[in-house]
Amino acid sequence: MRVFRLFFLIAFVILYPTISRGALMIRNYSAAQHYRFYVGNDKNFVGEPYDFSGVGYSNAGHWATLVSNNYFISATHYHPDAGETVTFWATNDLAGPSYTYTVTGGSRIGTTDLWVGRFDTAVDSSIARYPVAMLPSASDYMDLVLYNYGANQLVGRNVLEDMGSITVSPSTGEAAWYDYDNNDSPSVGGDETFLQAGDSGAPSFTILNSDLSLIGVHWAIATYPGGSPYGSIDTFVPEYYDDVNKVLATGGQALSAVPEPSEYWYAMIISCSLWLARRRRNSP
């Protein structure tokens, strides 16, 4: 992993929600475009092609992202506690089917801000279980377009700019960072996001194989001196794939990955075959 650039120019602030619980900042916010449950003939939801049903919200204002039948992930500093109930909506319509489950416990992953929680029973099969984006190298994550989910059921977009290990007390872990500079490549236009306190524990996805794959869980923000927006920070979930799987294994479950592990092996075999063929051709 690389270390964050411009470390010395910015201040990191953990997203401890206040009573007001500010909602996800989106550069050119439009309810018709960015509110998942907007009702109106002009609805043009940026996330409409994708299934956000596995993003749940608790009765105490905490986020849960479903990764298997009974298990979800969230943020250590702001996660659903045992006894809270989490509701999932099967569609982008609040009047549509919804399902509510009780949290029975959970555990922190090492010293990170990543939390794995569990429900009392399996979530309805109509609700999405998200795979983790497991790409071959760190460089493959650079410049991926992210779909950032946040408070008030808002969805915006940004571009993954950098990754590295950081400490934002009391947590240390691998993180993914995306800035707020209105100069993204590829461009996300007016969808560009900057996290707020109410977004703690909600997910960031990218699109692989035409579906949502999990990249991060909202952790902190970075600001310039004076507090103006600089960038947002997620716990980088792929780094902890094996650690999360160990927790899920205690309940007889497992994460899924995109691409599937078999695809890795296939790609490696092709690469090795091509390398060997070139070497034979170049041999005297």
Reported as a single tens digit per residue, the pLDDT across 179-211 is: 999 999 999 999 999 999 889 999 999 999 999
* Strand 257-258 to 132-133 pairing: parallel
pLDDT of residue 281 exceeding 80, the answer is no
Domains of the chain from N-terminus onward: 7-255 (2.40.10.120)
pLDDT of residue 262 exceeding 80, the answer is no
Residues 52, 36: contact at Cβ < 8 Å?
yes
Residue 251 identity (one-letter amino acid): G
pLDDT of residue 10 exceeding 60, the answer is no
Nearest Cα residue to 202 out of 37, 42, 15: 15
pLDDT of residue 278 exceeding 90, the answer is no
pLDDT of residue 151 exceeding 50, the answer is yes
Confidence at 82, pLDDT banded by 50, 70, 90: very high
CA–CA separation, 192 vs 185, rounded Å? 11
Which residues contact residue 273 at a Cβ distance below 8 angstroms, ignoring those fewer than 6 apart? none
The pTM of the full predicted model, rounded to 2 decimals, is: 0.88
CA–CA separation, 222 vs 179, rounded Å? 9
Query: What is the CA 282 to chain-centroid distance, rounded?
Result: 45
pLDDT of residue 197: 87
